Structure 1
Amino acid sequence: MARSGDLKSELVAFAQGPRFARRLDAQLDEAADRLGFLDEAAAIETIDHFVLQYRLADGSTVVERFVAQRRPPLPEDERAMLLGWCDVVEGVFEVQGLERDAAILHNLLDDIVYRVHSNLGQRALGKLRKGMFVAARIVPVHPDTDAWLVSGNLTTYPPGDGPELARVAAQTLSVNPQLLRRNPEMLRRAWEMQAEARADFIEVFGTDLLVLDPAEAHVRLREYHRHRWDKSVAGLDEETAAQAAKTGPSLDELSSLPEELLAADTVAVICDEAEGICYYADFGRLDALFADPRLVRDRTCLAQLREYLNDDSVSPMVIRRLVQRHPGNADAVFRALLRKPAFTWERDGEELLCRRKKRHYGHEPSPSITPVGTRLAELLRAEGRHGR
């Protein structure tokens, strides 16, 4: 523990050196713009993220550079310790208990209990009390242990803030379902829930892909979420069902499309096995193009397909869906788009997607539906009662 403190100080000094100054300053400026201010706690968190998680131009992290370039070289055990710090857990924790040199923290996000130390000693953990909440970043003390170490700042909250923090935790999970990766049971439940939601979608609509105008999409999605709601409360007594309705979003909120889609001519609503429900603007135009490749003469259609192909936020799944719907016409469409007369989708399609959409490759998919642990659910119910 003492050695980790010495090395962390050396690592931060390395990160604040002239070779990384421009990139670190940019991260601090971005944090200030996002938050509207940059106090000491925010600066510490930003620097810690930069040191352990920010990807440099070659794909490495600052801590990896430090370990590789440090002179004299670190012993193998200390190299392993520092490289293990790339495995960061960011969470909202409830203090379950305190030991002489550690705090027992339950992460509301992944529903795992962590035994957490600080290389600053008792003065860092001494302010914690059982029942309090903590927003923190933690890293493994060493990959060969199950002990964890505070990395950066500890922000504490009184027990009464639990319900509000639970709402923030639930929102964080919905945006970052990969946070469940540490908890295999929660991850398994998430995939089961997603499969059930997709089965319901197909039961309601007879397909997993709809192409509609935005107004109709809202109506049909409301129909789907009403079906899901009726299933979820079947068998519950009236009081329990009413309480459940208070703690979750309304049917209209669930059925609302992202604002940027409202002006689209058509919207594809796809309930994919791996990616869950997702929406894509003007899919109907591309569907018509793949149905009739003579439309390649329409520059608007080709421009739309080029935008789909070049936009990294558009999943490769959507391009594959277009091809699957009209498999005999894909070659003609892509030959016109790419101006490559020899292109064939069967031979060249996946390589094209991998080259244009690198962000979507090289990692395990995450479910789009996120279950919550028992304690988080309790706090969310309390938040719902207090907020009404």
Structure 2
Amino acid sequence: MEHSDSRTALPHIARLVARSGELKSELVAFAHSPRFARRLDARLQQAADRLGFLDEAMAIDTIDHFVLQHRLADGSSVLERFAAQRRPPLSEDERAMLLGWREVVEAVFEVQDFQGEAVVLHNLLDGLSYRVHSNLGRRALGKLSTGMFVAGRIVPVHPDTDAWLVSGNLTTYPPGDGPQLAQLALQTLTAHPQLLRRNPEMLRTAWQMQAEARADLIEVFGTDILVLDPGEAPRRMREYHRHRQERALAQLDDESPAQVIHHGPSLDELSALPEELCDADTVAVIFDETEGLCFYADFGHLDALFTDPALARDRTYLSRLRQYLNDDSVAPIAIRRLVQRHPDNADAVFRALLRKPTFTWERDGEDLLRRRKAEHFAREPLPSITPVGTRLAQLLRTQARKAR
């Protein structure tokens, strides 16, 4: 899949790229003005402290990040301040160009081809290709050659085009470094699965794969929720994992992603649970349609409370429920499942917890979750399984062979 620009004439792109260079120079000068100098100097010092030195390339990237992405005290960026305050005022088209630069794509790319003044870069993270220009002209891309790799940042030339622009420094690597760079790309994708949003096709595949993994768990256990003794959980998960392996082997001839990343609890064979789960009275394994596979400590303790609300007289039960309610790492689905399992008792439990005798789950439950778990509701749901693009998978297989 490639980001190409069939809608916009090349001379128009050339004009936009040239104008972007002028505006970027003004923007960087604005960032060095006295109102921002102290904060920018602090960011440069932090970069120097991390590396033990600060070379030109790191300084360029630090300034670029500060200008485009750093949030000031009021929540705005230097870029947004410049777009609003520049005198004389920017035209609507120039303002749109500048604000489009907020969409930064930072990745490891493979050089695929050259098209006129642009280079086609394949992003190992999202599996997309981008036609990229430099506002310093074609000569700035002269150090690149087909098959080599670059780490860098790009932004849209303009929201009305599919052309992209180098933003900051490009660090180059020879083709032979590809497998090692693929490992770094995999680590980045594991830590930041939201990068998949740029590729709708891969995102759809990820949701489909998560649905299939959930269906497999239901096929094995007859349900998508298990409440287990901590000593039993590894054995049951190994049973599920074996089922998944057998299905994967049976589908080897299918056109499916060569590798996937699982976020959250591992689907690998478990020899032991994390310490916080080992100390629990029970462990709930929930494979939700949206949240994916999740483990929750002491779920059985709370299930008993919802089975018999009279247990609320023992404050330890309410204390655990309060922890579930206030802990952002506990998704709302865990509490919703307790309510779904015992709908007739939910009101009594929450009235005791909140000391609100008129509370009803049907009327007040979702509002309660949205207040206590606002951070969760502010996040866009993402699948817990991330497919790895074809090219990245090829490079990872090469790296695996080298490691043998």
Q: Please state how far the C-alpha of 1:80 moved relative to its aligned partner.
A: 0.3
In structure 2, do the counterparts of structure 1 residues 385 and 357 end up closer, same or farther at CA, with 3 Å as the change threshold? same
Q: Please state how far the C-alpha of 1:203 moved relative to its aligned partner.
A: 0.8
One-letter code of the match for 2:83?
V
Aligned to 1:118: 134
User: Structure 2 regions of 5+ residues with no counterpart?
Assistant: 1-16
One-letter code of the match for 2:391?
R
Instruction: Report the Cα distance in structure 2 between the residues aligned to 1:7 and 1:104, rounded to whole angstroms.
Output: 24
Give yes or no for the alignment of 1:10 onto 2:29. no
Aligned to 2:10: none
Aligned to 2:351: 335
Q: Please state how far the C-alpha of 1:287 moved relative to its aligned partner.
A: 2.2
Give yes or no for the alignment of 1:266 onto 2:288. no
SS at match of 2:83: helix
Q: Please state how far the C-alpha of 1:294 moved relative to its aligned partner.
A: 2.1
Aligned pair partner of 1:292 in 296, 301, 308 = 308
Aligned pair partner of 2:152 in 136, 139, 147 = 136
One-letter code of the match for 2:389?
G
Aligned pair partner of 1:312 in 325, 328, 332 = 328
Give yes or no for the alignment of 1:372 onto 2:388. yes
With normalisation by structure 2, the TM-score equals 0.83
Aligned to 2:54: 39
Instruction: Report the Cα distance in structure 1 between the residues aligned to 2:34 and 2:338, rounded to whole angstroms.
Output: 49
Aligned to 2:9: none
Instruction: Report the Cα distance in structure 2 between the residues aligned to 1:258 and 1:26, rounded to whole angstroms.
Output: 39
Aligned to 1:240: none
Moved more, 289-298 or 78-87: 289-298
User: Structure 1 regions of 5+ residues with no counterpart?
Assistant: 238-243
Instruction: Report the Cα distance in structure 1 between the residues aligned to 2:51 and 2:269, rounded to whole angstroms.
Output: 30
1:29-62 CA deviation, whole Å, 9 max, x = no partner? 77677x5656344454444334333445554443
Aligned pair partner of 1:169 in 167, 174, 185 = 185
Instruction: Report the Cα distance in structure 2 between the residues aligned to 1:22 and 1:257, rounded to whole angstroms.
Output: 47
1:325-349 CA deviation, whole Å, 9 max, x = no partner? 2222222222222222222221112
Instruction: Report the Cα distance in structure 1 between the residues aligned to 2:357 and 2:161, rounded to whole angstroms.
Output: 57
Give yes or no for the alignment of 1:208 onto 2:224. yes
SS at match of 2:345: helix
Instruction: Report the Cα distance in structure 1 between the residues aligned to 2:267 and 2:211, rounded to whole angstroms.
Output: 23
SS at match of 1:384: helix
Instruction: Report the Cα distance in structure 1 between the residues aligned to 2:315 and 2:234, rounded to whole angstroms.
Output: 30
Root-mean-square deviation (CA, aligned residues, Å) is 3.0
Q: Please state how far the C-alpha of 1:199 moved relative to its aligned partner.
A: 0.3
Higher fraction of helix: 1
Instruction: Report the Cα distance in structure 1 between the residues aligned to 2:281 and 2:38, rounded to whole angstroms.
Output: 43
Moved more, 371-380 or 136-145: 371-380
Aligned pair partner of 1:229 in 245, 254, 266 = 245
In structure 2, do the counterparts of structure 1 residues 382 and 70 end up closer, same or farther at CA, with 3 Å as the change threshold? same
Q: Please state how far the C-alpha of 1:25 moved relative to its aligned partner.
A: 6.7
One-letter code of the match for 1:149?
L
Tell which structure's C-alpha radius of gyration is larger. Answer: 2
1:58-77 superposed matches below 5 A: 58-77=74-93
Percent identity for Structure 1 against Structure 2? 74
